[in-house]
Structure 1
């Protein structure tokens, strides 16, 4: 009887593991899309950063903001981190900010931020914020103009040049 219970538990765990793996392989950067235009005002939020301080998106009005929804378990998300670090270093002294919105466990995010030496703002998402932005895949990245209007939306991994071209254009406006 005990062997049967262990076998059933093992089977359930394996099924859950496979379902999660399939979900993430489908939803983690596999459907790369890119859109530009006027998508309306970015929904405002106040979330805690990795140091426990509140960060409010509208506080960055007057700056171009790259808003990236990501997770530590997402390989394309991790692949973009060096791009964002370079962009932060290059444009951070101009009217430009990066806000990474981690849709992940807070402890894992803190550990990852420390390990990678991420210099830009990282906040921990809540379900409401992810829903307001209709996040269905990772990474999903938005570029906001100085008035807080979403002008670009990228789903899936992008090389640094894609972001940089859009940032340069927005900083000139």
Structure 2
């Protein structure tokens, strides 16, 4: 997918948190690290840059928002 498509997706679904699109190199590297070969793959990254969780396949927006709110409300 293109960056333009990701921006359109964010706007269409009213996503107000950062969304990133990985390059092929990043996908390959993480696939090797986590032994995941499926798409879509969603990585939830915490404020320290650590992988908090990984989801393979579709997940409803509400599930992601619940996880993100939990992370945003965590104390240092």
The alignment's TM-score, normalised by the length of structure 1, stands at: 0.33
Matched, 1:144 2:53: no
Q: Give the whole-Å Cα distance in 2 for the aligned partners of 1:143 and 1:84.
A: 21
Aligned positions, number: 67
Which structure shows the bigger proportion of residues in strand conformation?
1
Task: Answer 1 or 2: higher relative contact order, Cα 8 Å, separation at least 6.
Answer: 1
Q: Determine which structure has more spread, i.e. the larger CA radius of gyration.
A: 1
Q: CA RMSD in A?
A: 3.0
Q: Report matched runs for 1:54-69 at 5 Å.
A: none
> How far is the alpha carbon of 1:142 from its aligned partner?
0.6
- Give ranges in structure 1 of 5+ residues lacking alignment: 1-48, 52-71, 73-80, 102-124
3-state SS of 2:49 partner: coil
Q: Give the whole-Å Cα distance in 2 for the aligned partners of 1:136 and 1:160.
A: 23
> How far is the alpha carbon of 1:154 from its aligned partner?
0.3
The structure 2 residue matched to 1:99, chosen from 12, 20, 25, is 20
- Give ranges in structure 2 of 5+ residues lacking alignment: none
